[in-house]
Chain A
């Protein structure tokens, strides 16, 4: 059973506009959330994270929002740039749960159109 879900396999956004990538989770023990970006033939790179004690974290053009009651988080990219075209993975973990690591979603392929 998928504990982290990214329901949109792909998303197309015009350059300069806002990209919003969504992620839902089912495990109420998750308290730490991360977004990764992956280009083809490369390993994923860490983008931004958020702890469950916060509802927003911002880093430059990237902002992650967390809605704990809805078990939902989203990544906003403003403004979107061509280099943002990549697969984005949402990941979650239970910081008190031992050595189980991160649980990843299946990814959303973001395409930025000129």
Chain B
């Protein structure tokens, strides 16, 4: 079974803090993705990576950065957290970029 794990299920941070969200997959997938899910807005792609050290902007990259130093790990970084970044963050991985993505359980981030 494919497993995608995220470092935290719930996280509370203060405005201005630097926040790291970690994602690890165990299926040797080339592609990894970060989304945020907000009510009424569905899943919006923040960043994705199709190889180690490679990254591509998604639809809403502003205020975020990513790091992929190892194939199995993809980190999302909020350089200076703001209240409008309060959301559910979902990591996913896939073998082919167009194919089925496997999602982690999500991190509910609250920025106060």
Q: Which residues of A contact B (CB under 8 A)?
A: 6, 9, 32, 34, 36, 41-46, 49, 89, 93-95, 97-102, 104-107
A89 touches B100 (CB 8 A): no
| Smallest CB separation, B36 vs chain A (Å) | 12
| Smallest CB separation, B103 vs chain A (Å) | 3
A42 touches B50 (CB 8 A): no
Residue from the list B31, B98, B103, B106 in contact with A41, Cβ < 8 A: B106
B98 touches A32 (CB 8 A): yes
| Smallest CB separation, A35 vs chain B (Å) | 11
B43 within 8 A of A: yes
A49 touches B31 (CB 8 A): no
B101 touches A101 (CB 8 A): yes
Residue from the list B9, B99, B105, B108 in contact with A93, Cβ < 8 A: B99
A98 touches B43 (CB 8 A): no
Q: How many positions in chain B have a CB within 8 Å of any CB in the partner chain?
A: 29
Q: Which residues of B contact A42 (CB under 8 A)?
A: 105-106
Interface 0/1 of B85-110, CB less than 8 Å to A:
00000101010111111111110100
| Smallest CB separation, A76 vs chain B (Å) | 20
> Can you pick out 13 interface pairs between chain A and chain B where the beta carbons lie within 8 Å of each other?
A6-B42, A32-B98, A32-B99, A41-B106, A43-B92, A89-B43, A93-B99, A97-B98, A99-B56, A101-B45, A101-B94, A101-B98, A104-B43
B74 within 8 A of A: no
| Smallest CB separation, B6 vs chain A (Å) | 8
Interface 0/1 of B25-51, CB less than 8 Å to A:
000000101010000111101001010
Residue of chain A at shortest CB distance from B48: A101
B66 within 8 A of A: no
New A-B pairs, 16, CB < 8 Å, besides A46-B100, A46-B102, A101-B94:
A6-B42, A32-B98, A34-B100, A36-B103, A41-B9, A41-B106, A42-B106, A43-B103, A89-B43, A93-B99, A95-B98, A98-B97, A99-B56, A104-B43, A106-B41, A107-B43
